[in-house]
Amino acid sequence: MVKRKPSNPNTLIDQFLNFLLVEKGLSKKTLEAYSRDIIRYRNFLAEHQTAVFSDEDTPLILKYLIHLRKSGLAARSRARHLVAIRGLYRFLVQEKILRNDPARLIDLPRTSLKLPDVLSREEIEVLIQAPDTDKPLGARDAAMLELLYAAGLRVSELTNLKLQDINLEAGFVRVFGKGAKERIVPIGMQAKEKIEYYLKTVRSKRLKQQSSPYLFIARANRPMTRQGFWKLLRRYALQAGLNKKITPHSLRHSFASHLLEGGADLRAVQIMLGHVDISTTQIYTHVTRDHLKQLHRKFHPRG
């Protein structure tokens, strides 16, 4: 008869600390620090109705790191917490308690752990609703803000989008990111509707029988500059009463954080962001475009 592995988190934590003491020979002071950090993480899991450690804890680990930042913990201290958490999950895999390590994709930065500032869902809502869509420029700006958040785009990716890069029927946008690497990202119904409205009511009138390959056009039918969009975003942030520093990257970070907090798979989010630290080819063999679209629709607040 095979002896069942213990699943009680307190028992597993005790075994991990004993492993650090006996096998790793850590000092009493270091063990106490590990113990405090792991117990704080365990309490966080308990607050989120999670009684055991799981292979699928990646979103919770990221949410916990965001929680630590919001609690005022310094970057160095947050990095220390992550080291303890990674050690715990590595131990659980080694002991065959878990099959996969949910912390393995969360890398420590070379200097310190710096998590980006994000907007709340309520702040995103008031920001996106700020443009007056009854006015031509307002309809364009609303579509740009919605798409920036819906697809987690960089500002340069947004302003350089071509008309041929958007597929409203399929609900995707094709993006050429850093190093001209291509990725396909779902956009959701909210962005689709605002882009359709902009195309039907604004873009053709502004072109005045001229042509432009760009989706969003500004003066002289040219694409908006990055600086121009920054000014536009700041104006709408003030108009919405958001008295904080908001940049285009704030919406990109919010996109990723809101998806992860909702339970989306980390690999899928990395694909949609176009991060280069994960092999694009390897990821696309595991996650299809249809699966990405389903994830976006399920987890994105405006999907």
Give the active site residues. Answer: 154, 178, 249, 252, 275, 284
CB neighbours of 209 closer than 8 A, spacing ≥ 6?
none
Closest to 257 measured CA to CA, from 142, 113, 152? 152
Structure tokens, 137: 């420029």
* β partners of residue 223: 217
